[in-house]
Chains A and B, each alone.
Chain A
Amino acid sequence: MELSPDERVFWEYGFIHINLTLVTTWVLMAVLVIVSYLITRRLRTDIRISRWQCILEMLVLGMNKQIQEIGLEEPKKYLDFIGTIFIFIAFSNLSIVFPGYVPPTSSLSTTAALAISVFLAVPIFGISESGVIGYLKTYVQPTFIMLPFNIISELSRTLALAVRLFGNIMSGGLIVAILLSIAPLLFPILMTVLGLITGLIQAYIFSILATVYIAAATQESKSKKIKLKPKN
């Protein structure tokens, strides 16, 4: 029994190997990009728009609103990163409705890759917003003593991100696989339905946490702006 789609390798040359995770990811990417292109090539700016355009607009505006509510004042700047995380994880997890499909998020390599992306994105956004010193200052907040704890928290939360997503999705798939051998008729369907909910929630949690981390990293510039504002 394969625990991870990484283990199913299709092609190998030296250290390069194309496994199920990569293939599934490419297929998902292709579908997402093609669907987006098909819908957005005929966008209307009138008051009456197509259903698909409406759905996409709702999705994009919903993500924008979520990012803004967490505290990032210019959500368009972060939409590419956070939106892509959410869309990719959500689409990847919801695709379990297709039989024989193994989500790439059930591979620890994929979830770790996403977590590392967040780990890298946080300082990038933080530095772009408040400069190197401003960003580094966030490590000694509220006092200098907190520096090691902040560094530990930075690393541990990245690990937590990766393992949380991986654990939830992998366990879902594993439970369905086990149930198939015990009770092959009804239970796997119920568990798949549960898996859909869990998958969507995990996508939401992952992207929200990424937003929160980025927001925390850009807090320094925000507090500066607040201090500069004259009292009314």
Chain B
Amino acid sequence: MQIDWFTLVAQVINFLVLMWLLRRYLYKPILKAIDERESKIVAQLKDAESKKKEALKERVEFNKKNEKFDSERDELMQKVIDESKEQKKKLTEKARLEANALKKKLDDEILANHAAQKNEIEENIQREVLEIARKTLADLSSVDLEKQMVRTFVAKVNQLGKEEKEKFVSTLASGKDSILVQSAFDLSKTEKSEIEKEVNSLTKKEYDFEFKVTPKLISGIELSANGYKLSWTISEYIHSFENELNAPIQDKKDQPSDKK
């Protein structure tokens, strides 16, 4: 049991060689790998941290946007509600106005119908009355009704009051020299000349007469010149008769509105 000096030196050299080899093939690569991994992990952690921060930032931004969107949506919704209310109001108003207009139109139409019917009835009555009068007059005398009417009209012209006469003459004198005579039936020459003679003697002037048949008058004669009108028709009597008939009805209609 003694030290072999050659072995000792050789072992020292061996140890140094082994140290160099292990440094080359073990410690260096292992430590390098560990360092690299650590730096990689640190980088990953940093990356994760930055991503987390970014995510947080994005989340905050998203929340902000969401809130903004919500408020905008609420505003829009409110606006839409207001607009729809306004529209509803407008439409209701429009519908009401239209309904009123329609009602008015309907009322007018009813009134027009009513008036038309009344006119028709009036005309029928006039015609019937005329027919009755004609028959009656024909039965009672030998002179037919038309002649009687002409005679009556001539008599009416004759019987005009002083003021009326003056007005008639002055109106005829101020205008054209033609007078329009309308009648419901065709007048005979004798009757035409009788009327011309009577008017000329009244005005003391020669006028041109234009005779026209207007069935609307039903029965009667109407003389017009320069806006002046002189007539005798059954419709006048019927109108006065109608007025008398309508007077109590009109009074009844007026009374409730007065109360209101």
Contact = CB atoms under 8 A, between A and B. Distances in A.
Contact of B25 (A19, A22, A33): A33
A117 B25 contact: no
B160 interface: no
A128 interface: no
A117 B139 CA distance: 177
B48 interface: no
Contact of B19 (A19, A21, A81): A81
Contacts of B25: 33, 36-37, 40
B245 interface: no
Contact of A60 (B18, B30, B40): B30
B8 A88 contact: no
B2 to A, nearest CB: 7
A84 B34 contact: no
Contacts, number: 119
A104 B27 CA distance: 24
Nearest to B6: A15
Interface size class of B (residues with CB under 8 A): 20 to 34
A79 interface: yes
A113 B33 contact: no
Nearest to A60: B30
Interface in A92-126: 104, 107-110, 112-114, 116-117
B17 A29 contact: yes
Interface in B1-43: 1-12, 14-19, 21-23, 25-27, 29-34, 36-37, 40-41
Contacts of A117: 12, 15-16
A80 B23 contact: yes
A108 B2 contact: yes
Contact of B12 (A26, A43, A87, A116): A116
Contacts of A51: none
A194 interface: no
Nearest to A111: B11
B34 A61 contact: yes
Contact of B33 (A6, A16, A43, A85): A43
Contact of B18 (A16, A17, A88): A88
B15 A109 contact: no
A45 interface: yes
Contact of B4 (A32, A47, A109, A170): A109
Interface in B206-254: none
Interface in A1-42: 3-4, 6, 15-17, 19, 21-22, 25-26, 29, 32-33, 36-37, 40
Contacts of B14: 22, 25-26, 29, 113
B109 to A, nearest CB: 95
Contacts of A110: 7-8, 11
Give the one of A29, A61, A113 with max B CB within 10 A: A113
Contacts of B32: 43
Contacts of A79: 27, 31
Contacts of A87: 22
A19 B6 CA distance: 10
A14 to B, nearest CB: 10
B12 A83 contact: no
Interface of B: 1-12, 14-19, 21-23, 25-27, 29-34, 36-37, 40-41
24 contacts: A3-B1, A6-B7, A21-B7, A25-B14, A36-B21, A36-B26, A37-B25, A40-B33, A43-B29, A43-B33, A44-B33, A45-B40, A47-B41, A53-B30, A60-B27, A61-B34, A83-B22, A84-B15, A84-B22, A88-B18, A108-B1, A112-B3, A113-B8, A117-B15
Given A37-B25, A113-B14, 7 more contacts: A22-B11, A33-B18, A33-B25, A60-B30, A110-B7, A113-B10, A117-B16
Closest 5 A/B residue pairs (Cβ):
A113-B11, A109-B7, A40-B29, A36-B26, A45-B36
Interface of A: 3-4, 6, 15-17, 19, 21-22, 25-26, 29, 32-33, 36-37, 40, 43-47, 53, 56-57, 60-61, 76, 79-81, 83-85, 87-88, 104, 107-110, 112-114, 116-117, 170
